[in-house]
């Protein structure tokens, strides 16, 4: 047993998600990404004297959406608070956030681990706040530049209980968070662009110990993979420190993606005292039960519910169900598709095989994929009825139908001469003709050289110019040879 096996890691995540509202959290400035620096900055965002913030209704709705989706308790009276600190990208000198009265408490997200194991990750709270601006260190060689466009854009912070035990679990949890916020249309979930950010709190303790160890916070991971790497590194580092007989320093560390290691940013000892106090310029936001019901009614079917339908009702594998529920647009397409076919597995195979490759080759998303689900269902039906072979359907009929919409699948198959012959009478005559042409081979087959079967089938396929249904031919040849 290695020393590492004696320990258990304890991890809690704090995620910030940037909301897809048109305007900022407390002002009418546009909250768009990628605008020219410092163009979406009004006096309200700058907190000039005499200006007053107002709460963005849409951001509150988004918070309630998320709260409902994770089964949280939603607070009726929401107070905002000022968190004071000085930094160049914080124009007001304080951030308006929620302190003692987060809009959501409790709730959970189910993370899917390897081998179908599900892990319930409990949430502590979700609160509304505004983002700071952005310090740009890599544009001017001597100065740090500041872009305040982001200052004031709406965020939700999702804080988990210390329920996670490994980098892999954190990765799985984040995957579910991203999927969920995308389904809810509240955040684009793009970690590389910074619209989903995550800090990890990590400690270790001896297995069997009930008290938590001292935690270290790790920041600056720009992908799920890097969150996992940072956590795995940090767990090992902390165990090494303890095994060396040293204490864990309470600190904030940063992740270096190149080395895969973490390094000290600042000690918690000289941490800021934020001097929180209730925001005097905002009245509490009241969330009524009626309002919550209204928002609830507007929610889409959640991916976890779809997953259950796909696996339990449609009998798809966990893998297929996971792939199909990854994006709302993909599951929406599949949901339409299965209104037109009961071949659920076939429908999944088409979407995850031929359709996906077609889109990948063209760098296309499902939104740009023009074939109506009903048309794809027609193709599936032709294959199921053995009127078109799978390969002809995938390689010829499908692309032709995408490129020339309008025709039915059957018309197109006819036009492309793909309709296969599975008429036993007609094919039987061809089989007879082939067998009659090669009596010595037939004798050899009957003498025990059963490997010749494929050759006979090939002959019949050739005679049919490739249009015979190979399954039917195979069966007919075998029957006729075995009969005598
Ligand atoms: P802080 O006061 O430093 O902000 P919180 O108690 O608010 O700490 O917790 C912040 C995050 O750290 C939460 O996700 C929580 O689950 C997690 N956390 C708290 N204590 C520990 C611990 N000992 N080890 C790992 N994570 C922890
Ligand atoms: Mg805290």
433's tokens: 């003709």
How many whole angstroms separate alpha carbon 53 and alpha carbon 279?
10
Higher per-residue pLDDT: 461 or 14: 14
* Model confidence at 39: pLDDT above 90: yes
How many whole angstroms separate alpha carbon 189 and alpha carbon 480?
61
CB atoms within 10 A of CB 52: 9
pTM of the model: 0.87
How many whole angstroms separate alpha carbon 433 and alpha carbon 439?
11
With beta carbons less than 8 A apart as the criterion, state whether 245 and 45 touch: no
pLDDT value at residue 270 = 72
Burial label, 289 (beta-carbon count in 10 A; 0-12, 13-18, 19+):
exposed
CB atoms within 10 A of CB 76: 15
Residue 53's SS3 state is coil
Tens digit of each residue's pLDDT (9 = 90 or more) over 443-478: 999 988 989 999 999 999 888 877 888 888 899 999
- Spell out the domain ranges in the chain: 3-291, 308-369, 424-482
pLDDT value at residue 271 = 74
pLDDT value at residue 469 = 83
* Model confidence at 316: pLDDT above 90: yes
The β-bridge partners of 262 are: 255
Of 160, 162, 200, 235, the residue with max ligand 1 atoms within 8 A of its CB, to mutate for a pocket test, comes to 162
How many whole angstroms separate alpha carbon 407 and alpha carbon 371?
11
How many whole angstroms separate alpha carbon 469 and alpha carbon 452?
19
Helices (H), 208-272: 224-243
Residue 117's SS3 state is coil
406's tokens: 């309008």
125 Cα: distance to centroid of ligand 2 (angstroms)? 10
Atom of ligand 1 nearest to the CA of 268: 3
How many whole angstroms separate alpha carbon 276 and alpha carbon 181?
29
Atom of ligand 1 nearest to the CA of 201: 26
Kindly state if the Cβ of 159 falls inside 6 Å of ligand 1: yes
How many whole angstroms separate alpha carbon 369 and alpha carbon 332?
13
Q: For the structural domain made of 424-482, what CATH number should be given?
A: 1.10.10.410
Query: ∠ CA 293-297-298 to the nearest 5 degrees?
Result: 120
Could you please report the per-residue DSSP string of 362-376? TT--GGG----HHHH
Tens digit of each residue's pLDDT (9 = 90 or more) over 262-306: 999 998 877 778 999 999 999 999 999 999 999 999 999 999 999
With beta carbons less than 8 A apart as the criterion, state whether 177 and 195 touch: no
Kindly state if the Cβ of 252 falls inside 6 Å of ligand 1: no
Residue nearest atom 22 in ligand 1 by C-alpha distance: 215
How many whole angstroms separate alpha carbon 401 and alpha carbon 338?
19
């Amino acid at each position: 047993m290695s020393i590492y096996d004696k320990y258990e890691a304890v991890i809690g995540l704090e995620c910030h998600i940037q909301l897809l509202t048109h305007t900022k959290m407390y002002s009418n400035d546009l909250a768009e990404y990628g605008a020219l620096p410092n163009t979406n900055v009004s006096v309200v965002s700058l907190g000039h004297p005499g200006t007053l913030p107002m709460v963005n209704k849409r951001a509150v709705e988004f918070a309630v959406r998320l709260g409902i989706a994770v089964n949280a308790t939603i607070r009726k009276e929401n107070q905002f608070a000022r968190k004071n600190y000085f930094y160049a990208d914080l124009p007001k000198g304080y951030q308006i956030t929620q302190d003692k009265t987060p809009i959501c408490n409790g709730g959970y997200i189910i993370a899917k681990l390897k081998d179908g194991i599900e892990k319930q990750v409990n949430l502590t709270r979700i609160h509304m706040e505004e983002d700071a601006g952005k310090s740009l260190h890599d544009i001017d060689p001597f100065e740090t530049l500041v872009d305040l466009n982001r200052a004031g854009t709406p965020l939700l912070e999702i804080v988990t209980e210390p329920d996670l035990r490994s980098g892999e679990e954190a990765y799985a949890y984040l995957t579910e968070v991203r999927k969920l916020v995308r389904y809810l249309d509240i955040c684009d979930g793009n970690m590389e662009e910074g619209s989903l950010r995550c800090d990890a709190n990590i400690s270790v303790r001896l297995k069997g110990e009930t008290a938590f160890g001292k935690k270290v916070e790790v920041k600056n991971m720009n992908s799920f993979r890097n969150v996992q790497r940072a956590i795995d590194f940090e767990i090992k580092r902390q165990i090494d420190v303890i095994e060396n007989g040293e204490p864990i320093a309470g600190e904030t560390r940063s992740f270096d993606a190149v080395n895969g290691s973490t390094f000290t940013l600042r000690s918690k000892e000289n941490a800021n005292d934020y001097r929180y106090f209730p925001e005097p310029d905002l009245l509490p936001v009241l969330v009524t039960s009626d309002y919550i019901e209204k928002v609830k009614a507007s929610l889409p079917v959640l991916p976890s519910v779809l997953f259950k339908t796909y696996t339990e009702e449609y009998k798809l594998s966990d893998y297929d169900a996971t792939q199909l529920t990854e994006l709302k647009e993909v599951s929406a397409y599949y949901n339409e598709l299965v209104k037109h076919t009961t071949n659920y597995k076939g429908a999944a195979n088409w979407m995850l095989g031929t359709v996906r490759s077609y889109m990948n080759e063209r760098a296309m998303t499902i939104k740009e994929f023009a074939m109506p689900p009903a048309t794809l269902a027609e193709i599936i039906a032709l294959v199921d009825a053995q009127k078109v072979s799978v390969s002809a359907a995938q390689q010829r009929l499908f692309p032709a139908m995408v490129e020339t919409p309008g025709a039915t699948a059957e018309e197109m198959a006819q036009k492309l001469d793909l309709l296969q012959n599975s008429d036993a009478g007609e094919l039987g005559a061809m089989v007879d003709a082939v067998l009659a042409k090669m009596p010595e081979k037939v004798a050899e087959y009957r003498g025990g050289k059963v490997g010749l079967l494929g050759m006979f089938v090939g002959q019949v396929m050739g005679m049919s110019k490739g249009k015979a249904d190979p399954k039917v031919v195979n069966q007919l040849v075998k029957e006729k040879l075995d009969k005598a």
